[in-house]
Every structure is written in C-alpha cells, then in structure tokens.
Amino acid sequence: MTTTFFDTSAVVALHVVSAPYSVARDALQKTTCVSALALTEALAVIAKLTDEAVLQRDIEDAIRLQWDRYSVVPIDQRCLDRAAELLRQQPLRLADALHLAAADRLPRPIRFVTFDAGQIPVALSLGFDVVST
C-alpha cells in the first residue's frame, strides 16, 4: 500500500481554486500524512492568497477542518536530525527539509505531493513518487 504525504503547498491547494487543486484532490487518500509543520505554514500563507478577510477566514476554517483528517508526523528530534542531514546534502530551505524528513520516516512506497519545485528533485532522490503539476 502506498503512503501519501502532502507538503504545505498540497495542503493549501485543496482549498484554493487553482491548477494544483484537482491534482491535490485526486491524490488525497483516507490516510494522507502531513508534517506537524504544515498547519502553521498553511495558516501563515493565507494572507498572501487574498486580501479579503471573509475569504481568509473561510480558507482557514477549511484547512483546519481537513487537518483533523490527516495523519500528522511529528517534528521531533529524529525528524530534526534527518532534516539537518538533508540540509547538509541538498540545496533546501529548512521548512522543505522538515517536510521531506517527516515523509522519509514513513513506510515505502511514498507518494509525495508537492507544488514546490525545490522539493521535487530531493524527493525523487529519496525514492519518492512525486505528484505535482
């Protein structure tokens, strides 16, 4: 059975009308995994998506409602250590390394859903099947 993992870009894509929406929707599984960081990152990006306060609240509500359905991978010392290793080996941002480290501890095969081009080559090098646009 394939393990599906959403990074923050995929978490947000489920709630915004855009090209990645249908890709994220089609990849969503009953037991989709996310890193614990994804909620904080997703909520922070909402203000960049729209200036309308009502839409911001609607998107936040939708993200929080869906959050309860995800399997959340903790950002613990094991994850931090793996992220540090990835940062030494790959050209990554810290948040991206944390998502990849969280996914890397899950059972294989892994379907890694991201719309962040910087994560794709690293995810592929880790042996993940990447879903993107």
Q: Which domains does the chain have, with CATH numbers?
A: 3-131 (3.40.50.1010)
Does the model's pTM come out above 0.85?
yes
pLDDT tens per residue across span 97-130: 999 999 999 999 999 999 999 999 999 999 999 9
pLDDT tens per residue across span 41-95: 999 999 999 999 999 999 999 999 999 999 999 999 999 999 999 999 999 999 9
Spatial distance between the Cα atoms of 80 and 89, rounded to a whole number of angstroms = 14
pLDDT at 38: 98
Residue 18 has pLDDT above 90, yes or no: no
**Which whole-number Å values give the CA distances from 124 to 5, 45, 96, 128, in the listed order?**
13, 26, 14, 5
pLDDT at 17: 86
pLDDT tens per residue across span 22-53: 999 999 999 999 999 999 999 999 999 999 99
Question: Any idea of the CA torsion for 116, 44, 88, 33, to the nearest 10 degrees?
Answer: -70
